[in-house]
Amino acid sequence: MQAAWQVISGGITAPRGFQAAGITAGLKASGQPDLALIVSESDAIAAAVFTTSQVRAACVDFSRQQLDGNSIARAILCNSGQANAATGDQGWSDAVESAGQLGQALQIPSNQVLVASTGVIGQRIKMDALRTGIPQAIAALSPEGGAAAAQAILTTDLIAKQIALELPLGDRTVRIGGIAKGSGMIHPNMATMLSFITCDAAVSPQLWQDMLSRAVDRSFNQITVDGDTSTNDCVFALANGQSRTPAITERGPIADQLEAMLTAVCQHLAKAIARDGEGATCLIEVQVKGTADDTAARAIARTIAGSSLVKSAIFGRDPNWGRIAAAAGRAGVQFNAENLAVRLGQFELLRNGQPLPFDRDAASQYLRDRAAGAYLQDDTVLIQVEVGSGTGQGIAWGCDLSYDYVRINAEYTT
């Protein structure tokens, strides 16, 4: 589908009827912003995707319970600094109290509040700081508060991650905005680290949930930094209907356009997370085609992007295509190795299962050039793999594995 939308400013508050804030409440020892609040001025249809980990933070189970049989949410509260995971009954009580405090302060039902946390596992939320911070965050709410909220949810991230898109629908427009955080513990098995999305379209609850689930499968579930899934992963998406466009209640051309834009927002944020991987110097994009279906192609792409050997070779500027081929072969997808083809950027390395002569020095320089473009549009190492003649296609994103990744995570709590 050809993109009909355009990028606009504003991030999470670009859609009509949303305000946000990001403040320093004293939750982080660093003194950096650490409490984010997103509020819809009217009832919003809520969709969510959560981690499938058996060790989950209290916020994950609590927010899932909030949405059980309830499709309406008005606010998202996120603290950074403490994960509130593996904190027992007291951690659960803290999540409940957080929602209750915010609901009371906003004068909305507490079951319309979703909560999220990020930080060190095993540490409870600093509730005294949170109690003081909630009214401060409410006072700071603004239609221009998206950037502040994006900053307040960060932990080891080097950059804030936000995006907003606008799509013409008839004589009006629909907007979707999003923010995300993530840098380490990135190998989602549901959604991602944390991502919050707003939309001003009117969408039926089940359709909105289905759209989000499919978008997540094509974006956040296709990124990897280090093979570790967090205890706190969640994606929340709110749609409040403030665009005043006709309600979207079933699949069709209009719904498909909205879902494509939602997917584009998710993919932008997902790539920003992979690009910001702890210690990373470049983004890796793996494109796979020729499988029986898209699911198989995505599995191969994700396996290659997540291979420690592939990631290490990219960091070493080593065009070692054998590691790419080996990763493709262990992805759990059947294909004939005689059909395997591998390209690295403009360099064709393998065709019909046979190695090809190539300029190794030039290929290595290609990798060095990508590292030199870190955080720019030319920082992407492109790996293309073909395994047959099927119609399946898939993309995954990752980053290289550097010495700094070990340093950052070896000293995370010390």
Residue of 51, 87, 192, 231 marked catalytic: 192
132 marked ligand binding residue: no
Nearest alpha-carbon partner for 48 in 237, 295, 319? 237
Sign of CA dihedral 62, 70, 236, 188: positive
What DSSP state is assigned to residue 158?
Answer: S
Residue 149 corresponds to which amino acid? A
Residues 27 and 128: beta-carbon distance below 8 Å: no
| Cα gap 364→297, rounded to integer Å | 26
Nearest alpha-carbon partner for 284 in 263, 264, 306, 269? 306
198 marked ligand binding residue: no
| Cα gap 46→63, rounded to integer Å | 11
DSSP H or E stretch at residue 247: none
Nearest alpha-carbon partner for 320 in 296, 299, 347, 293? 347
| Cα gap 102→125, rounded to integer Å | 15
What DSSP line would sit under 311-338, residue for residue? HHHHHTT---HHHHHHHHHTSS----GG
Count the Cβ atoms, other than its own, within 10 Å of residue 358.
17
380 marked ligand binding residue: no
Count the Cβ atoms, other than its own, within 10 Å of residue 347.
16
250 marked ligand binding residue: no
Active site residue 192: yes
409 marked ligand binding residue: yes
229 marked ligand binding residue: no
Binding-site residue numbers are 155, 181, 192, 278, 409, 414
Binding-site residue numbers for substrate are 155, 181, 192, 278, 409, 414
**Catalytic residue ranges:** 192
